Amino acid sequence: MSLLTDLINLNLSETTDKIIAEYIWVGGSGMDMRSKARTLPGPVSDPSKLPKWNYDGSSTGQAPGEDSEVILYPQAIFKDPFRKGNNILVMCDAYTPAGEPIPTNKRHAAAKVFSHADVVAEVPWYGIEQEYTLLQKDVNWPVGWPIGGFPGPQGPYYCGVGADKSFGRDIVDSHYKACLYAGINISGINGEVMPGQWEFQVGPSVGISAGDEIWVARYILERVTEIAGVVVSFDPKPIPGDWNGAGAHCNYSTKSMREEGGYEIIKKAIDKLGLRHKEHIAAYGEGNERRLTGHHETADINTFLWGVANRGASIRVGRDTEKEGKGYFEDRRPASNMDPYIVTSMIAETTILWKP
């Protein structure tokens, strides 16, 4: 008699050329992820060769019931770490039947920015540090925390080791390996300052691929935590009080910044970001005012300041960048629930295209 695990782990390639493609998209809240699967006649590696597909937008908050059809356009393919074999994950964006991007499709506008000749010439690199919190399923309280109580104060948990300091490492490591298997350019993980909070980093990724990779990495994390019976939260301040919030720091450079004399280009780019501080803050994630307080390694939400090696700044420049006179900078303002398509394209637009 077969067990469920035997059937889940069946190797389809032994009996058929057919594959399963899991189509993924962002739902109506702008943070909820949706997916559904379809059978394809054989392996596919080019998104343009994949069929478009429709779904019921009235059930995701993306269309009215009387005109509910929304169309998925495949945009990026990743290997499926859950089904393995030739099966794939497909990151999609969403359009009306007439071909117009729906309001929650933030990829479409980002792709326009990244296809602009001036942006293409600068080859923008992104490294995104995605923080998140693992919660106990039925009580919405961080893993490792006593129910209705609190652990010891922050200090021993950042990059900590041991059963009294590190909570959820099996989930984190499973996610890490699943992302590597999928082909996501995940570059590392670490335990964060608040117990039960973790971070993974994606990049360097070029242009629109940074957004695709973060969204699929988030999807994989949701699936891993689903298996583990744990809830993942991207709330920027999941626990009020003297506990660190959760951000999605965005490390950024252009070709000009990475070449000789790049430090001057970096400083000009930071000046431009300062001039558009309010616009960026408005687009950097909901609830960010609870996180950007001027405490817990943040700058106050109403203040723009930058500094070298300053983790209390809006923009941090590394010591190596200052020393070498070229490199990258880190925008520390984005919240953990930011949309990576919005944040990455907005940084490129402000620093490359915008003329003050």
Give how far Cα 112 sits from Cα of 64, 118, 209, 247, Å. 27, 12, 13, 26
Residue 67 has pLDDT above 90, yes or no: no
Q: Per residue in 166-215, pLDDT tens?
A: 999 999 999 999 999 999 999 999 999 999 999 999 999 999 999 999 99
pLDDT in the model for residue 21: 98
Residue 296 has pLDDT above 90, yes or no: no
Say what angle helices 169-182 and 209-228 make with each other, to 10 degrees.
140
Can you tell me the distance from the alpha carbon of 315 to that of 329, in angstroms, rounded to the nearest whole number?
Answer: 7
Give how far Cα 203 sits from Cα of 92, 162, 235, Å. 20, 28, 22
pLDDT in the model for residue 341: 98
Q: Which domains does the chain have, with CATH numbers?
A: 3-104 (3.10.20.70), 117-353 (3.30.590.10)
Retrieve residue 39's tokens. 């059978």
Q: Per residue in 224-267, pLDDT tens?
A: 999 999 999 999 999 999 999 999 999 999 999 999 999 999 99
Peptide bond into 142 cis (omega under 30): no
Beta bridge partner(s), residue 26 = 33
- Strand ranges, E, within 31-155: 33-40, 53-56, 69-79, 88-95, 125-136, 141-142
Closest by CA to 205, choosing from 213, 195, 197, 215, is: 213
Tokens 């600068």 belong to which residue? 122
pLDDT in the model for residue 171: 98
Give how far Cα 18 sits from Cα of 42, 49, 79, Å. 5, 15, 15
